[in-house]
Amino acid sequence: MNVNGKRALVVGLGKSGRAAACFLAGRGAIVTAADSRPRESFGSDSETLDALPATVRYGGHPDELVLAQDLVVPSPGVPWDLPGLVRARERGIAVCGELEIAADVLRGRVIGVTGTNGKTTTASLADHVLRSSGVPGSLAGNVGTPVLEIVETSEPDHWHVLELSSFQLEASTSFRCGVAVVLNVTPDHLDRHGTFEQYAAAKARILHSQRTGDFAVLNGNDPACREMEPLARGSVVRFGAVCRDGLDACARDGLIRFRGTTVGPSDLPIKGAHNLENALAAVAACSLAGVTGEDIGQALRSFRPVPHRMEFVAKVGGVDFYNDSKATNVAAAVKACGSFPSGLWPILGGRDKGSDFAPLAPALKRRTRTALLVGEAAPLIRSQLGSAVPTVDAGTIQAALRYALPRARPGDTVLLAPACASFDQYPNYVERGREFRRLVEGLVV
């Protein structure tokens, strides 16, 4: 993509937008970067934004600005069907996501990881295995480092592990993953995608640009993943927690097995059956990238859980406290709660994303002391749980902890697994998790 002398508009001034502005300006584009938010909402970051090699505009991106460009690059957080972007495409203006820009300039091969839940853990685990085994590359994408930031340091012998969201993938048409991993697909982000079918189609785009010799690593127990199999242009590799016919990577006789690779689950320092599936996907992906079973086993033992994902925080009075703030949808919360057989005090709630909370009821029944409800979605969660479990409207995480601490018994678990976005009370799930961790650590004497 030759952008020298072209007028380029970057829409959205988050990490990915900033990286895109710098990347395009470095290749000679005349860059404008715009965001719908006012300058003051960025706080101290506004000085960093003002230093971008671009004309920075706050408070909107009107049609006349969009239609005056040769290229428009929306950040992942900007809806792909935003009216201004639709009109730009109708006028023949190139509208490209960050993956499309990186497609021809990122050197090396890619392990792409997508799915509703488990992306960051799986991508981080795969990256850890590769780096521990001496395979050069980078960890980037939705996990924190924008893809365009790793282009300059990429080399042909690199394996890059990229966490890819539905927001990134829906704007992708030619970005190729040598190994494409789809962990699971359950309802999420319906406020953005409209329907589950459209959401699943966005996830499936990770397979569209694969070629013969590439691999599609798919969850053989997930219905949406099975429906993707005909779209795969490379070899399909299926994984699942329990071995059965048709699975290539699975657990049997206490061992994780994939082709010639055998690893003990005891090597895995992350809790929960869902993390076994994440590990199976990572083991398969790294094995396909050429890492030996012995190296994989050694790397698994030294891996440490990613913060805010089933993160053990502390034991207070015999009660365990776990932070799974990243459980921002119902399916993730169900899996987190299912990791504990009894004595559970789940903290649920936040901002609803158009979810059905009814599936929480069977997951919580018989293992929950009391569900502690917080945030905007508390009334909806209470009504959909019905009489399955006792509930308390705590309002805030701090109040939830104050309620649970004197009532929980030794051996119980207090688990932050909100099943909701954080934006009613926190800027993101990270700040929510940090607040939980800070409050719990304050209980330790």
For the record, the structure tokens of 188 come out as 């999420």
Choosing from 142, 219, 278, 329, the catalytic residue is 142
**Phi (first) and psi of residue 166, to 5 degrees:** -65, -30
**What is the C-alpha separation between 334 and 360, in angstroms, rounded?**
6
- Distance between CA 344 and CA 327 in Å, rounded? 16
Check if the beta carbon of residue 6 is closer than 8 Å to that of residue 71: yes
CA atoms of 116 and 438, how far apart (whole Å): 27
* Among 119, 274, 308, 326, the one annotated catalytic: 119
Q: In the chain, count of helices (H) and strands (E)?
A: 17, 20
Burial class (CB in 10 A: 0-12, 13-18, 19+), 213: exposed
Q: Does the active-site annotation cover 326? A: no
401 and 443 Cβ atoms separated by less than 8 Å: yes
Structure tokens at 77: 């957080």
Contacts of 426 (CB under 8 A, 6+ apart): 432, 435
Q: Is 308 left (phi over 0), alpha (psi -120 to 50) or beta?
A: left
Q: Which residue has the tokens 């030794």?
A: 410
Annotation says 189 is catalytic: yes
Coil vs helix vs strand at 320? strand
Please tell me whether residue 239 adopts helix, strand or coil conformation: strand
> Which position among 61, 189, 271, 326 bears the catalytic label?
189
The answer to whether residue 142 is catalytic is yes
Active site residues: 119, 142, 189
